[in-house]
Amino acid sequence: MEPEKKTDYIIVVNGKPEGPYNYEQLKNMAITAGTFVRKPGMDDYKEAHEFPELRALFGFNYEQTAPQYFASFDQRLLASMIDYFILLLLYIALILISFIFISDKGQKITIALLLLPFVPLFKFLYGVFADASVKQGTIGKRLLNIKVTDSMGNRISLSRSLIRNGAKILSVIPLFFGYLYSFLNKKQQCWHDVAADTLVIKDRLI
């Protein structure tokens, strides 16, 4: 099915964005499979072969390539802090709700202490399902435009996500060196990424 003629495309020529051009104008341009293209509503550029209508127009084949842009340690740390902040707010909300029904001060303290261990447990479970979801990451990751993938940039399975999040204990012990290992790895993988053969990638920027 041919796209609407009014669709505008921005293309990158010699490192500079040009356009917008409509579908009819693109027909007469020297577009290659690797030409960077962006349409309205897209946050980032993609290569021309990644667009079904451009593959049909120019006869390109879809060429899956391994990711080249990886989330830095500070991005990943900030994403995790955002997730924990959200969970902390939920924890506080639950505590305040429980206090409505409990008047004894000692019981309030007990409830607060009993619920506290559930924060990292819920973070683990949430991470497992969020990383394997269509969004490929938790709220923190999504806010920073980073996501978890396999070595080829594809969505990971639930079982692989379970391995990845479970293996984070390897990155914590000893002394969080497994996280610091990302500074020594060209793909910026932590130990739990290596264990699960996963990547944390970011959007390509032009």
For the beta carbon of residue 109, count every other beta carbon within 10 angstroms.
10
Q: What is the pLDDT at residue 206?
A: 47
- pLDDT at 135 > cutoff 90: yes
| Residue 65, SS3 per DSSP | coil
Q: Looking at the structure, do residues 37 and 88 belong to the same domain, yes or no? A: no
Q: Are 11 and 29 a contacting pair, CB within 8 Å?
A: yes
Evaluate whether residue 2 is within a structural domain. Answer: no
pLDDT digit string, tens, across residues 68-99: 789 999 999 999 999 999 999 999 999 999 88
User: The domain containing residue 133 runs over which residues?
Assistant: 73-202
Count structural domains, the chain.
Answer: 2
Q: Looking at the structure, do residues 126 and 40 belong to the same domain, yes or no? A: no
pLDDT digit string, tens, across residues 183-202: 998 899 999 999 999 999 99
Angstrom distance (rounded) from CA 114 to CA 73: 32
Q: Looking at the structure, do residues 167 and 102 belong to the same domain, yes or no? A: yes
Evaluate whether residue 79 is within a structural domain. Answer: yes
Q: What is the pLDDT at residue 14?
A: 85
Q: Looking at the structure, do residues 92 and 44 belong to the same domain, yes or no? A: no
Evaluate whether residue 188 is within a structural domain. Answer: yes
Evaluate whether residue 141 is within a structural domain. Answer: yes
pLDDT band at 137 (very low <50, low <70, confident <90, very high): very high
Q: Looking at the structure, do residues 169 and 138 belong to the same domain, yes or no? A: yes
Q: Looking at the structure, do residues 20 and 93 belong to the same domain, yes or no? A: no
Evaluate whether residue 68 is within a structural domain. Answer: no
